[in-house]
């Protein structure tokens, strides 16, 4: 048995500190059945953001950036990129991958009413249900008036997604969000205009069909969904 001091230290350490050095390899194994590398999913989300017509000269925040998969993509397209994660080790990895971003390890370090957009990519399913509204209220406080919240989450309606989550080592605590539940949550946190779009429909073997994915955004069959809400 571990000494009490060691057990208490482990309990205080952010969960993703334990995965920072192997996040990429674990993620790659969990999505291997899609036929795509991990970079594909970050690039896809970047494309979704660019299609929203966000002003690239205005600040954007990757909230819950992890090891920087999406942050690395953002710095190549946006002038001012910030990133936050409660896992110091994950932040250190992300900083090496995206040195052009400003990193924050504490939510209190984030500037208030500053960002044109805040992105939560695969974050909320790791947040206990009782804390999700508080997290979103804190996020809203960092947005400039008229700013937008963009949430990417796994689609619990997709059995393939559920299987991948079940196989993923760091998703052992995941509680997936239903889009209707997420809409109610962001509205309680003070957001408006909650639009949901379904994404990630076709694996690599059917990549030739991806040209139609934007037209399928209404169909609740995608592996993930994206929500856009206004502050």
pLDDT of residue 1: 43
> What is the pLDDT, as a whole number, of residue 14?
84
Q: Which of 229, 175, 174 is nearest to 197 (CA)?
A: 229
CA 48 to chain centre: 13
Adjacency order of strands within the sheet including 192-199:
102-104, 81-84, 60-63, 115-121, 143-154, 224-230, 192-199
What is the mean pLDDT, run by run of 10 residues, along the chain of 231 residues? 41 78 88 92 97 96 97 97 96 96 94 97 96 97 97 96 91 94 96 95 96 95 97 91
Q: What is the pLDDT of residue 143?
A: 98
pLDDT of 12: 52
User: Which residues does 173 contact at the CB level (< 8 Å), separation at least 6?
Assistant: 15, 126
pLDDT for 68 equals 97
3-state secondary structure of 230: strand
Taking alpha carbons only, the member of 139, 137, 159, 144 closest to residue 222 is 159
Contacts of 54 (CB under 8 A, 6+ apart): 60, 78, 116, 117, 148
- Number of Cβ within 10 Å of residue 10's Cβ equals 11
CATH T-level fold of 4-230: Rossmann fold (3.40.50)
CA 199 to chain centre: 14
- Reading the block at residue 216, the tokens are 């399928």
Q: What is the dihedral of CA 179, 184, 185, 191, to 10 degrees?
A: 110
CA separation for the pair 45, 73 (Å, rounded): 9
Residue spans of the domains in the chain: they are: 4-230
pTM: 0.92
């Amino acid at each position: 048995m571990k000494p009490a001091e060691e057990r208490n230290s482990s309990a205080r350490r952010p969960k993703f500190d334990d995965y920072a050095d192997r996040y990429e390899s674990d993620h790659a194994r969990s999505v291997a059945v899609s036929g795509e590398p991990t970079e594909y999913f970050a690039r896809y989300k970047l494309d979704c953001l660019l299609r929203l017509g966000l002003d690239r000269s205005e600040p954007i925040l990757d909230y819950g950036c992890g090891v920087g998969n999406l942050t690395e993509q953002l710095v190549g397209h946006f002038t001012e990129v910030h990133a936050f994660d409660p896992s110091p080790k994950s932040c250190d990895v992300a900083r090496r991958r995206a040195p052009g971003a400003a990193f924050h390890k504490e939510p209190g370090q984030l500037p208030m009413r500053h960002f044109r957009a805040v992105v939560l990519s695969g974050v909320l399913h790791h947040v206990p249900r009782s804390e999700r509204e508080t997290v979103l209220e804190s996020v809203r406080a960092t947005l400039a008036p008229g700013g937008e919240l963009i949430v990417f989450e796994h689609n619990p309606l997709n059995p393939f997604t559920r299987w991948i989550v079940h196989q993923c080592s760091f998703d052992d605590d995941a509680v997936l969000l239903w889009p209707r539940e997420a809409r109610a949550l962001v509205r309680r946190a003070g957001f408006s205009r909650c639009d949901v779009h379904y994404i990630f429909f076709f694996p690599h073997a059917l990549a030739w069909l991806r040209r139609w994915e934007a037209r399928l955004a209404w169909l609740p069959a995608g592996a993930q969904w994206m929500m856009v809400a206004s502050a």
